């Protein structure tokens, strides 16, 4: 078994001077053209792409990625080991409720673990569409979403899945692009209980349900109103994709997405307000900390101790302690230029983030300072050689 251990890197003093690389969302497109990182390992290589990570229970974290890759740690990321996933399809997201976990990916791939990620079994989803996200609230009730407005749900832990297609929202939809909009990719889903959930995706779409998905309403109208108030068109085709929805409680939530788009709500999404749109921080009252939001894609949001941390392209790692109104950079090692696509914490503030080129970083202080990994066995071989 190859072992990885953390090594603290020098904190980056100017995180946002990094080169902007214009790529599509990493779960669907490759990330070519990136600058090489300054490290390599025998367990992880530069060809590895890790798309998500979640905390199972205690100090157990599970990361998933390209070609069905699964890595598992029982010590909050101090060491990692390969786990057989049972699938060769790329896995885009993983969701745990205690020791019960599910991962979803390309070609309708769904796999399930009942032992904290030690072993996995395939499940039949009933679709071949790419699945981008999954959310479970207990060992039985879960939802997933993905390409071409596909969403599905289960009430028996995934033994059977019910597949459906999200109706097209008419909010902000002009007649001309109506043929394109039905093929929306939904990138993120979050349920707080068996009834209350959100789903977000392309064209700034925000969908909301209070009956477990039997009916869905649209919540992006207030963001379109915000655009119109600034002289813009009230048209979903002008909206960036949202890649992640994260609610800390039933009232307070944030959205992050394309080009540095950030929005927040304090009333369960009845109204959403722009914090930054495509890196433009002038959408809110001026605050020096708002400058920490770059015009780069933001992919995931983690929560620790009341603070939120979002990650994205070019190793962007920024945090907020006030629900998303203002943001500041976290301390990350230098020399990391790849995208970061997943982040997760346990209740003690230990966390893991994962991304391109096999990148894994950990924190033990709720995300203030992050350390990167190198293969201890390889380092020992290098020392002996010298």
Q: Which domains does the chain have, with CATH numbers?
A: 4-385 (2.130.10.10)
- What the block records as the tokens of 269 is 């999404």
**How many helices, marked H, and strands, marked E, lie in the chain?**
2, 29
How confident is the chain (386 residues) per 10-residue block, as mean pLDDT? 36 33 40 38 78 97 96 94 96 97 98 98 96 98 97 98 87 59 88 98 94 95 87 78 97 96 96 83 52 88 95 94 90 92 97 95 95 61 40
112 contacts 96 by C-beta, under 8 angstroms: no
Question: How far are the Cα atoms of 230, 243, 309, 367 from residue 323, in angstroms, in the given order?
Answer: 24, 18, 10, 16
Among 197, 196, 202, 200, which Cα is nearest to 188's? 200
What is the pTM for the complete model shown? 0.85
The answer to whether the beta carbons of residues 291 and 335 sit under 8 Å apart is: no
Q: What single string gives the DSSP state of each residue in 339-372?
A: -EEEEEE-TTS-EEEEEBTT-EEEESSTTSB-EE
Question: In the prediction, which pLDDT does 291 show?
Answer: 60
Question: How is 95-139 classified by DSSP, letter by letter?
Answer: EEETTEEEEEEGGG-EEEESSTTSS-EEE--S--SPEEEEEESSS
Please return the burial class of 286, using the count of CB atoms within 10 Å of its CB with bins 0-12, 13-18 and 19+: exposed
Q: Which pLDDT does position 231 carry in this prediction?
A: 78
| Cβ neighbours, 10 Å, residue 371 | 18
Count of alpha carbons within 13 angstroms of residue 47, beta-carbon side? 3
- What is the C-alpha to C-alpha distance for residues 6 and 370, in angstroms, rounded to an integer? 9
């Amino acid at each position: 078994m190859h072992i990885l251990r953390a090594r603290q890197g020098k904190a980056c003093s100017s995180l946002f001077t990094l080169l902007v690389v214009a790529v599509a969302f990493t779960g669907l497109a490759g990330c070519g053209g990136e600058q090489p990182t300054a490290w390599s390992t025998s367990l992880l290589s530069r060809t590895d792409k890790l798309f998500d990570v979640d905390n199972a229970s205690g100090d157990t974290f599970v990361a998933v990625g390209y070609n069905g890759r699964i890595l598992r740690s029982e010590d909050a990321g101090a060491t990692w080991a390969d786990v057989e996933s049972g699938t060769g399809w790329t896995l885009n997201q993983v969701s745990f409720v205690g020791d019960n976990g599910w991962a979803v990916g390309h070609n309708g791939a769904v796999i399930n673990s009942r032992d904290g990620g030690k072993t996995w079994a395939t499940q039949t989803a009933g679709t071949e569409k790419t699945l981008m996200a999954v959310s479970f609230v207990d060992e039985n009730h879960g939802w997933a979403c993905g390409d071409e407005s596909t969403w599905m749900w289960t009430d028996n832990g995934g033994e059977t899945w019910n597949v459906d297609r999200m109706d097209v929202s008419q909010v902000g939809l002009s007649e001309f692009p109506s043929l394109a909009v039905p093929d929306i990719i939904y990138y993120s889903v979050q349920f707080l209980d068996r009834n209350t959930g959100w789903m977000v995706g392309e064209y700034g779409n925000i969908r909301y349900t209070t009956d477990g998905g039997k009916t869905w309403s649209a919540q992006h109208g207030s963001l379109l109103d915000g655009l119109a108030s600034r002289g813009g068109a009230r048209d979903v085709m002008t909206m960036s994709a949202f890649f992640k929805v994260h609610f800390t409680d039933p009232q307070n939530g944030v959205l992050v997405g394309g080009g540095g788009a950030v929005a927040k709500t304090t009333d369960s999404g009845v109204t959403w307000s722009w914090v930054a749109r495509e890196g433009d921080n002038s959408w809110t009252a001026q605050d020096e900390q708002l400058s920490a939001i770059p015009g780069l894609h933001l992919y995931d949001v983690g929560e620790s101790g009341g603070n939120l941390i979002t990650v994205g392209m070019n190793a962007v790692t920024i945090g907020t302690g006030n629900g998303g109104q203002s943001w500041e950079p976290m301390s990350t090692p230098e020399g990391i230029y790849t995208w970061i696509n997943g982040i997760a914490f346990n209740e003690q503030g230990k966390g893991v983030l994962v991304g391109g080129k096999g990148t894994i970083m950990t924190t033990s202080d709720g995300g203030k300072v992050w350390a990167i990994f190198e293969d201890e066995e390889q380092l020992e071989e290098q020392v002996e050689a010298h």
